[in-house]
A and B are shown apart, each in its own frame.
Chain A
Amino acid sequence: MKTLLKLLTALLTLSLFAAACGSDGGDTAAPSGDALSMAIVAPSASDDLAFTQSMVDAIAALDRDVDLQVTDGTFVVEEAAAAVRGYAEAGVSVIVVHGTQFGGSLAEIAPDFPNTSFLWGTATDTQGLANVFAYYPAADEGGYVNGVMAAALSAAKSIGVVGPVEAGDAVAYIDGFAAGAEAGGAEVSIVYTGSFGDVALAQETAEGHLANGADVMTGSAQMVAGAVTVAAQNGVAWFGTQANQTDFGPSVVVASQVYHWEVVLEEMLALYDAGTLGGTAYEITLENGGLEIEFNDGFDLSDDIRTLGEETIAGIIDGSISTGQ
């Protein structure tokens, strides 16, 4: 109880102190000038070279003035919901709800703010809400391309995949990758470690794949940095997704499927300007340029395989190749 009184004293002191120092700081910053006021609510760090960073980079790449506020690291769903509601109440015009798991909360929040536009991803439908746009990566496409190249690259025709929890676009990517690799005649071992963040476990999984004879690997989620490091330590080729992962292993990363959300963001914002606040679902694909396979020039990739990759991309775009997803 004594400790409680101490805590109470401390907080009371602070309140007086804060109250004495000037006016109320106010809630979230009010939008300024002509810039579009936007906010992102995302589950991981803004510079994680993965899920969240892809969206932050996309907004930076937009051809317009944006007044952006970010709340990242909200892996607790209720906290994200509170952040979304908070931004909406503060009058932010466009709120990017960057996490599939936030959809249920969004369904309750969006109707309360009919003049706010919510961009929700990764999701394939807008839940029938008039002010919600949805965006989704056809991650299986890039996965397929990576898989085809991986199989061609693999001498042992044995490939290892390191996945987090079997949910979200990680699954689409991995399933597409497996389809492409198997089409190329390779055996694919997929392991979900059961955690998004356990780097050590991801590393051991990668080590295990190598011990099992894999000579090419891929994976997704925040903990993948660990697996790429193992690949780099052993000179094993790596294919990346969600962002350009060359920095994780400059000598071993062959190519990464990069998300360019700005392609669909532009379309959504154009509709917003015209007065439509939602109702459409968008996909980023190889065709519309939202997905791009970025090759690492630092990796010595044979022309044959590179051509194979580019042909696969072309095939998916014109529809002649199906990823089976």
Chain B
Amino acid sequence: MLKKLAGAFVPLLAALVAFALGAIMLLAVGADPIEGFRALISGAFGSSDRLAVTAVRATPLLLVGAGITIAFRASVVNIGGEGQIVSGALLAVIAAQAFPDAPPVVLIPLTCLAGLVGGGIWGAIPGALKAYASVNEILSTIMMNLIAIQLMNYLLRGPLIDPLEIEAGTRIPQTERLSDNAALPIIWNGTRLHLGVLIAILAAVMAWVILWRTPLGFRLRAVGHSPDAARAAGIPVKRSIVTALALSGSLSGLAGTILVFGSESQRMVTDGSSAGFTGSAGFNGIVAALFGGLHPLWTIPSSYLFGGLLTGATHLQRVLQVPAALAVALNGIIVVFVVSSGRARVWIERIGNARSQVSTATPEAGHSEDPANLTEAQS
């Protein structure tokens, strides 16, 4: 009985400890922790405006995360979100510049398609490298990120640069203001909530449909479970690996399109780093996917929660005038504690069991949910 209570209590305790650590940090820089956490929550969910900001912030996380779940189901790890977002965005920019006068009903799908293709290519390359050259995808996707940053800088300061920038002599890496016909329309008047939010949710649902309702998805999951068994069953393993990474990349590429055409400035602009454009979505999307248990549909609430955390942290920074770095550290603490707390409960239970001399028969996790085993084992 006590065990059960302890079980329910632990996540709460973990959350409180995480926030206590955060409070200590806030106090150390002279800020009021209560104010801080109020700002964190109200900044994320406190008003319709704030909810819209959270939704917009969560959107690229959701897309990247959903893409990652597809890759993981095929037992492939995709850390290349940043690069895939950038390449998708670049191709979308080119598409918008090629057909600026096309009506929105044509241009918006076109830019989305361009994003899917651009990101898909950037994902297919590491996929092919893994399938046909045995190059580990963790390495190749990390390297592809680095390459994408330089490609982005080259294009944005060169062929794609805003002509006004050259005139002004400032040469910031940005494109010209892109066609209004490609702008994602606002769907909730008075806020910044745009169509991209819906597109992302749709894409996550599509990811689920692909994985569990199509032959392609079945093949990907089979390869994820056991490449040897899949091969024996006649499934083209190498092609499936490429497909998995390509699909994963294309969703990130779509995030790139949405980042450009949902932005304030209606252009692709950065300070010279990829994070300056993506806001590290390629990276935070991994967290969202993992929090969602690597399931596309669960990634929806998890990306919204994590997006809320990020948005709230920005708000906290502004309200309390503390360095932005504190918010980053706080995010890290919360991630660590949340992921630990689930396990802490099991740990306490196990200790309790050991003391009462009863061995808990806990079967080792099969490969059922998480072939790449990046989430917790079910025990």
Q: Which segment of A69-77, A145-153, A206-214, A306-314 sits at the interface? A: A69-77
- Chain B residues with Cβ under 8 A from A274's Cβ? none
8 Å CB contact of A10 from B276, B317, B318, B338 = B338
Is there contact, CB below 8 Å, between B271 and A6? no
Is B247 an interface position by the 8 A CB rule?
no
Q: How far is the CA of A172 from the CA of B270 in the complex (A)?
A: 19
Q: CB within 8 A of A82: which of B11, B18, B53?
A: B53
Asked whether, in the complex, the Cβ of B168 is within 8 Å of the Cβ of A25, the reply is: no
- Alpha-carbon distance between A284 and B325 when the two chains are bound, in angstroms: 32
Q: How far is the CB of B30 from chain A (nearest CB, A)?
A: 14
A75 touches B11 (CB 8 A): no
Q: Which of A21, A73, A107 contacts B38 (CB 8 A)?
A: A21
Shortest distance from the beta carbon of A192 to any chain B beta carbon, whole Å: 10
Chain B proximity of A129: nearest CB distance (Å): 13
Give 1 or 0 for each of A76-105: 1 = CB within 8 Å of chain B CB. Answer: 111101110111000000000001110111
- Knowing A3-B339, A3-B375, A28-B318 are in contact, say whether A167-B276 is a contact too (CB < 8 A): no
State whether the Cβ of A125 lies closer than 8 Å to any Cβ in chain B.
yes
B170 in contact with A122 (CB, 8 Å): yes
**Residue picked from A25, A26, A69, A168, most chain B C-beta under 10 Å:** A25
A45 to B324, CA, bound (A): 9
Contact B265 A28 (CB under 8 A): no
**CA gap between A86 and B315 in the complex, in Å:** 9
Judged by a CB distance under 8 angstroms, whether A14 is at the interface is yes
8 A Cβ contacts from A150-173 to B: 164-169, 171-172
For the complex, is B248 an interface residue (Cβ under 8 Å from A)?
A: no
Instruction: Tell me, rounded to whole Å, the shortest Cβ–Cβ distance linking A290 to chain B.
Output: 17
Contact, CB under 8 Å: B169 / A172? yes
Residues of A within 8 A of B376 (CB): 2-3
Tell me whether A9 and B15 are in contact (CB under 8 A). yes
Q: Does B372 contact A (CB under 8 A)?
A: no
- B317→A6 contact, CB < 8 A: no
Residues of B contacting A74 with CB < 8 Å? 324
Q: Is the CB of B279 within 8 A of A167?
A: no
Given contacts A8-B305, A10-B18, contact A167 B157 (CB under 8 A): yes
Residue B213 at the chain A interface, CB threshold 8 Å: no
What are the residues of chain B within 8 A of A171 when measuring CB–CB? 171
- Choose among B16, B298, B323 the residue that contacts A13 (Cβ–Cβ < 8 A): B16
Smallest CB–CB gap between A212 and chain B, Å? 24
Residue among A82, A99, A105 with the most chain B CB within 10 A?
A82
- Chain A residue at minimum C-beta to C-beta distance from B375: A3
Q: Given that A3-B339, A18-B41 are known contacts, is A79 also in contact with B314, CB under 8 Å in the complex?
A: yes
B37:A18 contact, CB within 8 angstroms = yes
* A101-B341 Cα distance, complex, nearest whole Å: 41
- Which residues 237-279 of B have a CB within 8 angstroms of A? 259, 263-267, 269-273, 275-279
Residue of B169, B172, B271, B301 with highest tally of chain A CB at under 10 A: B271
Interface string of B273-306 (1 = CB under 8 A from A): 1011111100000000011110100100110011
Given contacts A1-B295, A3-B342, A25-B39, contact A79 B318 (CB under 8 A): no
List, in ascending order, chain B residues with CB within 8 A of A7's CB.
291, 302, 305-306, 338
Q: Give chain B residues whose Cβ lies under 8 Å from the Cβ of A123.
A: 168, 170
Tell whether, in the assembled complex, residue B279 and residue A78 are in contact, meaning their CB atoms are under 8 Å apart. yes
Within 170-197 of A, Cβ neighbours of B (below 8 Å) are at 171-172, 194-197
Indicate if the CB atoms of B321 and A4 lie closer than 8 Å: no
Task: Give the complex CA separation of A105 and B277 in angstroms.
Answer: 13
Given contacts A10-B14, A75-B271, contact A167 B263 (CB under 8 A): no
Within 8 A of B (CB), among A118-161: 122-125
Please, how many angstroms separate the alpha-carbon atoms of A77 and B269 in the complex? 7
Rounded to whole angstroms, the CA-CA distance of A85 and B56 in the bound complex is 15
A10 to B21, CA, bound (A): 14
Contact in complex: B275, A13 (CB < 8 Å): no
The 9 A-B pairs of least Cβ separation, nearest first, read A104-B265, A10-B15, A165-B272, A105-B264, A73-B324, A1-B293, A105-B265, A81-B264, A76-B279
18 contacts between A and B (CB under 8 A): A4-B291, A6-B15, A7-B305, A7-B338, A11-B309, A14-B19, A14-B41, A28-B319, A69-B318, A73-B324, A77-B277, A78-B264, A104-B266, A105-B265, A108-B265, A165-B157, A165-B272, A196-B271
Knowing that A2-B293, A7-B291, A77-B269 touch, tell me 6 more A-B residue pairs with CB under 8 angstroms: A4-B291, A25-B319, A71-B324, A82-B314, A125-B168, A168-B170
